[in-house]
Structure 1
Amino acid sequence: MVRVPPTCIALAAAVAALFGAAPASANLLDYVGQCVPFARQASGIQIYGDAWTWWDQADGRYKRGHKPKVGAVIVFAKTGQLRLGHVAVVSRVVENRVLMLTHANWSRQNGERGHAEQDVTLYDVSDDNDWSRVKVWYRDSNGLGGSIYPVKGFIYGTGDTARELTGRNPDYVGALIDAYVPGAGGH
Structure 2
Amino acid sequence: MLRTMVASLLALFSLAALPTSAHARLQCVTYARQVSDVQISGNARDWWGNAEATYERGHQPRPGAVLAFSGTRAMPYGHVAVVSKIIDDRHILIDHANWSGPGMVERGVQAVDVSAAGDWSEVRVWYAPTRSVGLRASPAKGFIYPRSMTASAANADADAAKG
Across the aligned residues of Structure 1 and Structure 2, the Cα RMSD in angstroms comes to 2.8
Report whether the alignment pairs 1:105 with 2:98.
yes
Per the alignment, residue 82 of structure 1 pairs with 75
Determine which structure has more spread, i.e. the larger CA radius of gyration.
2
CA 144–61 in structure 1, closer or farther in 2 if over 3 Å, else same: same
Kept after mapping to 2: 8 A contact 1:134/1:151: yes
CA 25–37 in structure 1, closer or farther in 2 if over 3 Å, else same: farther
Runs of 5+ unmatched residues, structure 2: 150-163
Identity over aligned pairs, percent:
42
- Equivalent position to 1:145, from 134, 143, 150: 134
Which deviates further from its counterpart, 30-39 or 85-94?
30-39
How far did residue 132 of structure 1 move? Answer: 0.4
1:114 alignment partner, SS class: coil
Scaled by the length of structure 2, the TM-score of the pair is 0.76
Query: What are the Cα deviations for residues 104-123 of structure 1, in whole angstroms up to 9, with x where unaligned?
Result: 00112xxxx11110001000
Per the alignment, residue 69 of structure 1 pairs with 62
Kept after mapping to 2: 8 A contact 1:71/1:159: no
Kept after mapping to 2: 8 A contact 1:70/1:91: yes
Question: How far apart, in 2, do the equivalents of 1:107 and 1:24 lie?
Answer: 27
Report whether the alignment pairs 1:34 with 2:27.
yes
CA 32–4 in structure 1, closer or farther in 2 if over 3 Å, else same: same
| Structure (1/2) with the larger helix percentage | 2
Scaled by the length of structure 1, the TM-score of the pair is 0.67
2:42 alignment partner, SS class: coil
Question: Residue type matched to 1:152 in 2?
Answer: K
Per the alignment, residue 156 of structure 2 pairs with none
How many residue pairs get aligned? The number is 139
Per the alignment, residue 57 of structure 1 pairs with 50
Runs of 5+ unmatched residues, structure 1: 14-22, 161-187
Question: Residue type matched to 1:37 in 2?
Answer: T
- Equivalent position to 1:128, from 117, 121, 132: 117
